[in-house]
Amino acid sequence: MAVPRIVLLGPPASGKGTQGRLLANKGGLAYFSTGRQLRRELKAGTELGRRADPYLAAGCYVPDELALALALTWVSGVDGGWVLDGFPRTLPQAQDLDAFLAPQEAALRALILEVPKDELELRVGERRECSVCPWTGTRSGADPSGRCPSCGAELVQRSDDDLGNFRMRFKAFDELTAPVAGYYETSDRLRRVSGVGSPEEVFRRIQSVFHLD
Ligand code: AMP
């Protein structure tokens, strides 16, 4: 692949954030998560955050036009390769991303992390993210003080990480994002990796799929 451009698909809590960052670090790629950016906009009280708020609270996807604006603005500002975590999530988003990248003759690959639903439900309760830096992980993966292992700031649970919200997000994934995997599969751009196991184990599988060893 000339300039790697990788989109990460996967149900909620499948490890997209953790693996996306490992992949970006290993490959020297820029990394962006639309979900995390939406939560930041919400916290900062921006116009975009206010528009996204009811969707995030209900466990629904934000409108395509909003996600597209966020992702394509970020992509246009990046020179080299990149990893997009959580975008595209719908067919129109995937098609618009292809149309946007077409003039650059970009080689896009999609990676889907596959994890059974009952394991995802267990992970949701454990999941934490840093209130300051990009660290995400599990409560048990943090240091005993409960502070961020990367920068020492407070760790927080995502406001949308309760079981009811998770089930809504999983349904949205099943209905709207699974077809996106099919879209990339028909053009032979999809790579499937099991997301079960430790972050290191999962990352080893990803490395071998993308020949990053
Ligand atoms: P994530 O952090 O990737 O789990 O995303 C959290 C939430 O942000 C999702 O459940 C959606 O409500 C919203 N979101 C993130 N990315 C997108 C997207 N590409 N399209 C629509 N909604 C999104």
38 within a domain of the structure (yes/no): yes
**CATH number assigned to the domain comprising residue 92:** 3.40.50.300
pLDDT tens-place string over residues 93-148: 999 999 999 877 668 999 999 999 999 999 998 889 888 888 888 887 767 778 88
Do the beta carbons of residue 97 and residue 71 sit within 8 Å?
A: yes
Q: Is the pLDDT of residue 1 over 70?
A: no
Whether 95 is covered by a domain: the verdict is: yes
In a domain, 123, yes or no: no
pLDDT at 144: 77
Average pLDDT of the chain, as a whole number: 92
Determine, yes or no, domain membership for 158.
Answer: no
pLDDT of residue 139: 82
Q: How many residues in total does the chain contain?
A: 213
Is 87's pLDDT higher than 80? yes
Q: Is 145 within a domain?
A: no
Around ligand 1, the residues with Cβ closer than 6 Å are: 12, 33-36, 38, 55-56, 60-62, 67, 86-89, 93, 169
**pLDDT higher than 60, residue 92:** yes
Q: Is residue 148 part of a domain?
A: no
Predicted model pTM = 0.89
- Per-residue pLDDT tens digits for 32-57: 999 999 999 999 999 999 999 999 98
Residue of 5, 89, 128, 205 marked catalytic: 89
168-171: long-range contacts, CB 8 A cutoff, minimum separation 24? 168/58, 168/59, 168/60, 169/11, 169/12, 169/59, 170/11, 170/12, 170/117, 170/120
> Looking at ligand 1, which residue's alpha carbon is closest to its atom 8?
35
What residues form DSSP beta bridges with 122? none
The DSSP call for residue 174 is: I
Count of structural domains within the chain: 1
- Per residue in 196-206, pLDDT tens? 999 999 999 99
List 154's β-bridge partners, or say none: 147
Tell whether the torsion through CA atoms of 150, 155, 159 and 162 is positive or negative.
positive
Distance between CA atoms of 8 and 97, rounded to whole angstroms? 13
Domain span including residue 170: 5-116+164-210
3-state secondary structure of 112: strand
Handedness of CA 176, 178, 179, 180 (dihedral sign): positive
Spatial neighbors of 94 by CB under 8 A, at least 6 apart, are: 88, 180, 183, 184
Residue 193 or 79, more confident: 193
- How far, in Å, is the centroid of ligand 1 from the Cα of 213? 30
DSSP 198: -
* 158 belongs to the catalytic site: yes
- pLDDT over 80 (residue 21): yes
